[in-house]
């Protein structure tokens, strides 16, 4: 008799973005010169003062377990940063530190959902949202948000998707994979629907992982900031990963009503215990320390974004809006072919450029291109894409 994992996990597809990155790494190991635009992480090193704080913590013997919800010093630093960034006051009891925003979101679904509860997820969506909902026995309800309307959730479409089983609405601005940023007005109209909903109150789970990466004068707004009256229905998930180039440190957090935080603390006490203590002390240095490092990285991304958009405009059949946030562009490739899976395959095999097909994000017909890589790579890679697309047209 063979040994098998259970159905819940055997039916879970591996993260498609990680699969593409792994395939590119494999080709590189075979000596093939592949450029990867699949990464979801900054290509900058973690700032030196953050690394120094980790070393100092180790030398000072700060190497033991912490509370499952995280160090109070870190939760205080998170509260200070939220106050500075979005002008909303939280207490440390309303904050839990998790291994990345990914686990904070996973934990939120675990504590909010009963079997069969529905979660509204605007598409294109970050790959893990639907899987995390399913892992909590919930039902993802996908609402399409087309490029023509800026990939933002249409209030009417939201209203139509709400049923008596709806418990959570997921928002992600700036968004992965589109880079789209909700304007204040767009966010207000979504929150009006939440406010006007009769019956069991809805949770708004706002993933603000990319909040510091906005360009061309765009502004990031949090639901907590613009709808203080909905405060006890709003959860903010965020992370140090993208802001401080700390993806491998695994420090994220959730700010939410105290009862949710306490429940997640209990879940964490039986699952991951606490985020690596050394990383937590480093995170305090990142949050309280010099923020000009964040601005320099943002400026570098901003320059790359501008060049990527210029270069993509020269690819025949690609059509790309100018997203205001994150470090992704999400061109439609329907002008070349309908299948973005096939398009991504051709680009990997023939242009030796790894990109993620929109299918992974519930938006076929698009490609996600990450510009978290050097300008030289971007210039070479997009030129290769242009040539591959022109060759296709000649066939």
At a CB cut-off of 8 Å and minimum separation 6, what does 222 contact? Answer: 86, 88, 206, 208, 211, 236
For residues 191 and 223, the answer to whether their CB atoms sit within 8 Å is yes
| CA pair distance 236, 261, nearest whole angstrom | 11
If the CB atoms of residues 154 and 207 are measured against ligand PLP, the closer one turns out to be 207
Asked if 172 is part of the footprint of ligand PLP (rule: CB under 6 A), the reply reads yes
Interaction between residue 100 and ligand PLP (CB under 6 A): yes
Task: State in angstroms the smallest separation of the CB of 127 from ligand PLP.
Answer: 8
Backbone φ and ψ for 106, nearest 5 degrees, come out as -55, -45
Q: What is the token pair recorded at 204?
A: 């708004």
280 interacts with ligand PLP by CB under 6 A: no
176 binds ligand PLP (CB under 6 A): yes
What one-character DSSP code corresponds to residue 214? B
Which helix (H) or strand (E) segment holds residue 353: the answer is: strand 353-354
| Nearer residue to ligand PLP within complex by CB, 107 or 336 | 107
CB of 75 to ligand PLP, least distance (A): 16
- Per CB under 6 A, contacts with ligand PLP among 251-270 are 252
Angle, helices 277-288 vs 72-86, to 10°: value is 30
212 interacts with ligand PLP by CB under 6 A = no
Q: Which two tokens stand for residue 95?
A: 């904050």
Q: In residues, how long is the chain?
A: 395
Task: Please tell me whether residue 247 binds ligand PLP under the rule CB under 6 A.
Answer: yes
Least distance in Å: CB of 247 to ligand PLP? 5
Closest CA to 251 of 263, 240, 242: 240
The reply on whether position 366 binds ligand PLP by CB under 6 A is no
> Per rule CB under 6 A, is residue 208 in the interface with ligand PLP?
no
Q: Is residue 276 at the binding interface for ligand PLP, with CB under 6 A as the rule?
A: no
In angstroms, what is the minimal distance from the CB of 205 to ligand PLP? 11
Nearest Cα to 116, choosing from 133, 135, 138, 131?
A: 138
- 199-to-192, 202, 321 alpha-carbon distances in Å: 15, 9, 38
State the nearest-atom distance from the C-beta of 241 to ligand PLP, in Å.
3
Say which residue the tokens 């209203």 belong to. 159
Site string for ligand PLP, 39-58 (x = CB under 6 A): -x------------------
Of 44-52, 54-62, 95-103, 214-222, the window that binds ligand PLP (rule: CB under 6 A) is 95-103
- Least distance from ligand PLP to the Cβ atom of residue 209, Å: 4
Residues 114-133 that bind ligand PLP (CB under 6 A): 126
Residues near ligand PLP (CB under 6 A): 40, 100-102, 126, 172, 176, 207, 209, 239, 241, 247, 252
């Amino acid at each position: 008799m063979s040994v098998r994992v259970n159905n819940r996990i055997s039916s879970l597809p591996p993260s498609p973005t990680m699969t593409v990155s792994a395939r590119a790494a494999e080709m590189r190991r075979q000596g093939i010169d592949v450029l990867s635009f699949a990464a979801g992480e900054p290509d900058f090193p973690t700032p030196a003062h953050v690394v120094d704080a980790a070393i100092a913590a180790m030398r000072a013997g700060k190497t033991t377990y912490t509370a499952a919800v995280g160090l109070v010093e870190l939760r205080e630093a998170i509260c200070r940063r939220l106050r500075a960034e979005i002008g909303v006051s939280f207490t440390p009891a309303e904050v839990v530190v998790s291994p990345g925003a990914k686990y904070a979101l996973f934990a939120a679904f675990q504590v909010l959902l009963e079997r069969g509860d529905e979660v509204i997820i605007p598409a294109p969506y970050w790959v893990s949202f639907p899987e995390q909902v399913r892992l909590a026995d919930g039902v993802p309800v996908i609402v399409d948000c087309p490029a023509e309307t800026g990939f933002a959730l249409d209030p009417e479409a939201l209203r139509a998707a709400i049923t008596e089983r709806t418990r959570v609405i997921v928002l992600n601005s700036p968004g992965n994979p589109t880079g789209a940023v909700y304007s204040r007005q767009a966010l207000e109209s979504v929150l009006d629907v939440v406010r006007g909903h009769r019956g069991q109150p809805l949770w708004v789970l706002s993933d603000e992982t990319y909040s510091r990466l906005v360009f061309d004068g765009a502004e990031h707004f949090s639901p907590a900031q613009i709808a203080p009256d909905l405060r006890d229905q709003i959860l903010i998930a965020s992370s140090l990963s993208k802001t401080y180039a700390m993806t491998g440190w695994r420090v994220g957090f959730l700010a939410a009503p105290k009862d949710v935080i306490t429940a997640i603390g209990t879940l964490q006490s039986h699952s991951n215990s606490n985020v690596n203590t050394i990383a937590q002390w480093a995170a305090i240095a990142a949050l309280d320390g010099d923020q000009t490092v964040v601005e320099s990285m943002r400026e570098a991304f901003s320059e790359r974004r501008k060049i990527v958009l210029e270069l993509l405009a020269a690819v025949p059949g690609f059509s790309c809006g100018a997203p205001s946030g994150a470090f992704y562009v999400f061109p439609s490739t329907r002008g070349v072919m309908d299948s973005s899976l096939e398009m991504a395959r051709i680009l990997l095999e023939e242009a030796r450029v790894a990109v993620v097909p929109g299918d992974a994000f519930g938006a076929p017909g698009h490609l996600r291109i990450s510009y978290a890589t050097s300008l030289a790579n971007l210039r070479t890679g997009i030129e290769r894409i242009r040539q591959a697309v022109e060759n296709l047209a000649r066939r």
